[in-house]
Amino acid sequence: MSPRYPTSNVFYRRLTEEMSTAVRGEGIYLYDQDGNEFIDGSGGALVVNVGHGVAEIANSMANQAHKLAYVNGLHFTNEPVEALAREVAAFTPEGLNHVYFLSSGSAATEAAIKLARQYWCEKGRDQKYRIIARTPGYHGNTLAALSVSGRPSSREIFEPLLQDFSFVPAPMEYRCPTDLSFEEFGDQCASHLEATIEKEGPELVAAFIAEPVIGASAGGVVSPPGYFAKIREICDRHDVLFIVDEVLTGMGRTGKWLAVDREDVAPDILTLGKGLSGGYAPLSALVVRDEIVDTIAQKSGAFSFNQTFSHTPVAAAAGLSTIQYLKDHELVARSAQMGVYFLEQLQTLRSSEIVGDVRGIGLLAGVEYVENRDTKEPFPPEFKIAERIRKAAFEERLILWSTTRYLPSNNGDLSVLGPPFVITKDQVDELVKRLKSAIETIEENL
């Protein structure tokens, strides 16, 4: 019998479903207790980049745990943390050379918001506290992170607990107004940011936060060329820090080490998570512009974000080893190359009447389902289309990530895909075949 609520003592994320017990992973595959083999089409939550079961990473974590499992960042630094910070600073934009390690993407967002606030206070501009974010967008589930997440389905019942921050639209090609080119739409969205800063009062605005490619909430949405350069200019003009959230897109997911590498734009604070340790340990990071760290060093002397599990050696060993593996096997270039084939094959899903859009970059893709392809009208949320497709795919032994109600109109259904970078062409074909079959099953039963 599979474990389930209420007989198991685990408080599951989904209480009404039977849970398979995963026992092993290898490459793109996961195996459950009955020996069923699943394709991990979303790398869990867009986490697993190097693949499952990499012995080198497991061994380096075990060796580190034998030598030194834990020290508190207040008392000591440690060798893996020092080495990982050097590695991360080497591939992040120039001028961002200081890395603060944490253990989740949400914590990294919280820390980025608090750091922006602390920086302005220490510069003597303690009126600045407001954050502006984008919709759609997702930066985590803790309260401040959710306060900057433009994703109605995650916010809903928590609204009374959230900070009242402002949102501006993110340019999406699929939902671009028909009378504008995508570039013009990008300009319009960037102008919206400037108008919002001016309306709020630049003296109050501390930072703007954005995903360089929208991940979990919108499935691989790429901005038009020049959009982020305009955002950078606007932030500079108004003394607003620019936070780039690369928790999902970093570490090769979009075919470059970082998604901002395509933009020729450097943020003030950059967050990493998920693929930073390939899923082998809970690990995230803030990568921070020197001037911000120097300001704090010269004033209070400490960033006020104490966490028991910051700067921990075993997680850092996992991160170091993951980066080494990505380099040794040239997996970032592979994500770019295989991503082209992956997106081409996914386009064949358009033969289904309910597939409105297939988008993405590198090995990050979104398949959007709509009720009417001509008007792009989404399904009513109660149809739970993406969720039903996720479940049908599980029956086909394919793991997907599903997103529902991602649009401000409180609807919009997506499957989000992001397999490990080691996926082969044959495996891509098999993944697409299983997804097609899952979509057809739901389409036939509408």
Ligand X SMILES: Cc1ncc(COP(=O)(O)O)c(C=O)c1O
Site of interaction with ligand X (CB under 6 A) = 45, 104-106, 109, 138-140, 211, 215-216, 245, 247-248, 273
Shortest Cβ 1–ligand X spacing (Å): 30
Residue 118 vs 249, nearer CB to ligand X: 249
Residue 49 vs 106, nearer CB to ligand X: 106
Residue 141 vs 295, nearer CB to ligand X: 141
Instruction: Give the chain as a 3 state SS string.
Output: CCCCCCCCCCCCCCCCCCCCCEEEEEECEEEECCCCEEEECCHHHHCCCCCECCHHHHHHHHHHHHHCCCCCCCCCCCHHHHHHHHHHHHHCCCCEEEEEEECCHHHHHHHHHHHHHHHHHHCCCCCCCEEEEEECCCCCCCHHHHHCCCCHHHHHHHHHHCCCCEEEECCCCCCCCCCCCHHHHHHHHHHHHHHHHHHHCCCCEEEEEECCEECCCCCCEECCCCHHHHHHHHHHHCCCEEEEECCCCCCCCCCCCCHHHHCCCCCCEEEECHHHHCCCCCCEEEEEEHHHHHHHHHCCCCCCCCCCCCCCHHHHHHHHHHHHHHHHCCHHHHHHHHHHHHHHHHHHHHHCCCEEEEEEECCEEEEEECCECCCCECCCHHHCHHHHHHHHHHHCCEECEEEECCCCCCCCEEEEECCCCCCCHHHHHHHHHHHHHHHHHHHHCC
Residue 110 vs 194, nearer CB to ligand X: 110
Shortest Cβ 36–ligand X spacing (Å): 26
Residue 135 vs 427, nearer CB to ligand X: 135
Shortest Cβ 274–ligand X spacing (Å): 6
Shortest Cβ 105–ligand X spacing (Å): 2
**CB of 193 within 8 A of CB of 231?**
yes
Shortest Cβ 231–ligand X spacing (Å): 16
Shortest Cβ 63–ligand X spacing (Å): 25
Residue 41 vs 121, nearer CB to ligand X: 41
Shortest Cβ 218–ligand X spacing (Å): 10
Residue 141 vs 437, nearer CB to ligand X: 141
Residue 194 vs 279, nearer CB to ligand X: 279
**CB of 358 within 8 A of CB of 365?**
yes
Residue 354 vs 386, nearer CB to ligand X: 386
Shortest Cβ 18–ligand X spacing (Å): 24
Q: Which residues contact 167 (CB under 8 A, 6 or more apart)?
A: 132, 133, 134, 135, 137, 150
Shortest Cβ 434–ligand X spacing (Å): 23
Residue 138 vs 227, nearer CB to ligand X: 138
Please give the residue whose beta carbon sits closest to ligand X in the complex.
Answer: 105
For residue 168, the cross-strand partners are: 134
Shortest Cβ 45–ligand X spacing (Å): 6
